[in-house]
Structure 1
């Protein structure tokens, strides 16, 4: 049995994701494909476009065999924490042979070489990184600059083992999916995992592209572009336009949610986040992990200027911190999330699976080092105290998401514990 794992958000699931699953099946020879997926909040610091069970169903219809939910603490972490959590979850199953991830370069060897530097942190690299941070650079920018200088110096030495130009390294480090791919490789190295990385070359739109008119049949949209299209059109996108972006098997569920207005953008947090911020004090804000004293002061000083989630994130942004990091902080405050992202995910919660994947589930139950949860109500009997806290916080976040969705659509509230698995 050959099993390929994918770490994804499917926000939303589109034709590029379908292509990746097909590639894992046809080129990598996967008998089964397991997805570690974000739940109702996502890593860029926002509610997911559509709820997690629908996104899981769309992925199953698009060819995946098993969808597992990553805890909310993982998906609201930095790229490093997100990748470490996803890799930990797949590794804990004991059956995954290969991790397939999209990247702008498709160069697994170079991504692994960079990851090894970041894991080992040679003295020369650490020195360059600290010099950059002292100038006020954001951590991602400081790290990128230090890596480029370090690898350039090594490339000109007699001991060059990289085989690529510094210009190529600079291009790799300026692309978001390459950066995430490096984090996946780092996580695999730190776990000494048996899972092999495989970088798949992305085709089509760039991460932030919103113009799909020039896409050929061999190119794919970006999830970010689809979200922007939804927000600009206020959900009135024509089904004919979406048929070019969303796989045909997954499209009906997407269109049904669109018709019901059952989708969210970050503007859904405008009012509830403002309310939550007004309840906070310096003492309570210090309880949130990774929230620096400087950011706390900035939040408290600026909250009377609050107009909305997006506007406030722009207001808080500084030269040394990315906007995505600000958004993640605000989402964690909204969710009252005071637990650090776990380096190790201690359970695997199933959101959905294919009926014919019974042999895969049997192998996971036989080989997994972490419990498999197929019924949310069973968690309290299966998990230890630490794992149960992570699980309950994730369920609480999904209940808040459901609240926002019900407020928008007028649909009845369904508690997280009562939502059924999606079985295809």
Structure 2
């Protein structure tokens, strides 16, 4: 019996995700699938459209056997830490044989040698990244530029290296590369696989007549009051409709403007400076822009903060860390580098129950199905994030605010 690992956000789960799931399972020949999924907040620094329980339910209906939560400490991070945390969890299960991700490249021919090279990253590369950022370049652009330069310099003679800069311009290639780097650094025996990304690109608008759209376009459609029916499987559509009817979505970053405004009104610059990713005087700039915004909106704050150096995504993550009071001390590179400390089970199928039994014998981390019976600093961050997220519902009930404590894993 073989098991496939998939890393996802399913925000929401759409037809493109179903295509990837089927292709990945076919390519791997796996009998079962474990999904590592972001919780209430995502890698781009946004709240998920609907709760992690609802998205877990979608994943199980699609055919996933077990869903594990990626701790918020890794979920709301640049690609490097997002990938490291997720791959570490799959490796820690002790039962995952392969990892499959989508990519624009559609093969590992160019991605894997580049990942093997970058996994041996030296101080010179870090210095080059820092020097590019000192010129006002954003971290993603600085990283891809420095990585491409180092990669090309490693080739000698007339041999022409693959165009690393072009590879890294594609978002799925870039994230996939970091999955491969994490596998190398962990010394994992999981076999990497990739399937060509199909359909709409990340920022592509909806295409008439197509059944595939990006999650970004679908979320935008939801906010505009449109129907996502052409782009979602029936079970996702049904779960999404149920959550909307109950006032539990779609949740947006703007829904947190009141608690964020409270934070900015009651914290000094020195206090804000202690928060994760609050670097280079951003706390002073944040308070200056906040003071002159009328009316106060999250989007207005982001537009005021945005610059060539700070991307929209980077700033959204900063605001989420501010909202959740994530400190630099809690999320140091040293602590993140130790990897997650537990396997938090969000849901499982009947076959997933058997996987859980295997994991309890083979996993290298504690398997947590009842958070109230396990304590860890990172898990406390997860529980707090879930409560803050639920507070944005139309009329949040106790069972929703404390769902992680009161409700068992989702079973389908």
Structure 1-normalised TM-score? 0.89
**Cross-structure match for 2:229:** 243
In structure 2, relative to structure 1, the CA distance for the partners of 1:350 and 1:283 (3 Å cut) is same
Shift of 1:47: 1.1
Pick from 238, 249, 252: which aligns with 1:252? Answer: 238
Residues 1:340 and 2:294 aligned together: no
Cα contact 1:97–1:195 (8 A) shared by 2: yes
Once the two structures are TM-superposed, the CA of residue 398 in structure 1 deviates from its matched residue by: 0.5
Map 1:211-290 onto structure 2 (within 5 A): 211-215=206-210, 220-231=212-223, 233=224, 236-238=225-227, 242-263=228-249, 264-290=251-277
Residue 178 of structure 2 is aligned to residue 183 of structure 1:
yes
Q: 1:317, 1:89 → 2: CA distance?
A: 33
Partner of 2:411: 423
Moved over 6 A (4+): none
- Distance in structure 2 (CA, Å) of the matches to 1:286 and 1:130: 20
Equivalence map 1:57-68=2 (5 Å): 57-68=57-68
- Cα displacement (A) at 1:107: 2.4
Bigger shift: residues 322-331 or 304-313? 304-313
What SS does structure 1 have at the residue aligned with 2:109? helix
Aligned-residue Cα RMSD (Å) equals: 2.0
- Equivalent residue number for residue 385 of structure 1: none
Aligned equivalent of 1:350 = 345
Q: 1:186 is paired with a residue of what secondary structure?
A: helix
1:394 & 1:305 partners in 2: Cα distance? 33
- Whether the 8 Å CA contact 2:67–2:348 is kept in 1: the answer is yes
Kept in 2: contact 1:210–1:226 (CA 8 A): no
Does 2:9 match 1:9? yes
Change (3 A) 1:295 1:411: closer
Q: Following TM superposition, by how much is the alpha carbon of 1:184 offset from its aligned partner in structure 2, in angstroms?
A: 0.9
Contact 2:12-2:236 within 8 A present in 1 as well: no
* 1:154 positional shift: 4.7
In 2, Cα distance between the equivalents of 1:308 and 1:419?
A: 34
Aligned length: 400
Q: State the 1:2 CA deviation.
A: 0.8
Contact between 1:46 and 1:331, CA under 8 Å: does it hold in 2? Answer: yes
Cα deviation for residue 17 of structure 1 reads 1.2
Residue deviations 1:330-353, cap 9 Å, x none?
111111112206330110111110
Aligned to 1:362: 357
Alpha-carbon distance in structure 1 between the residues aligned to 2:205 and 2:35: 26
How far apart are 1:27 and its partner, in Å? Answer: 2.4
| C-alpha spacing 1:69/1:176, structure 2 compared with 1 (3 Å) | same
Instruction: Tell me the CA shift for residue 285 of structure 1.
Output: 1.5
The Cα of 1:74 is off from its aligned counterpart by 1.0
Measured after TM superposition, the shift of residue 39 of structure 1 is 0.6
Provide Cα deviations, 1:83-130, integer angstroms capped at 9, x if missing partner: 111011111111111111111111223222222232223577556545
Whole-Å Cα distance in 2 between the matches of residues 272 and 297 of structure 1?
Answer: 19
Aligned to 1:375: 370
Q: 3-state SS of the aligned residue for 2:326?
A: coil
CA gap of 1:160–1:131, structure 2 versus 1, over 3 A, is farther
1:324 aligns with 2:313: yes
Does residue 400 of the first structure (1) align with residue 379 of the second (2)?
Answer: no
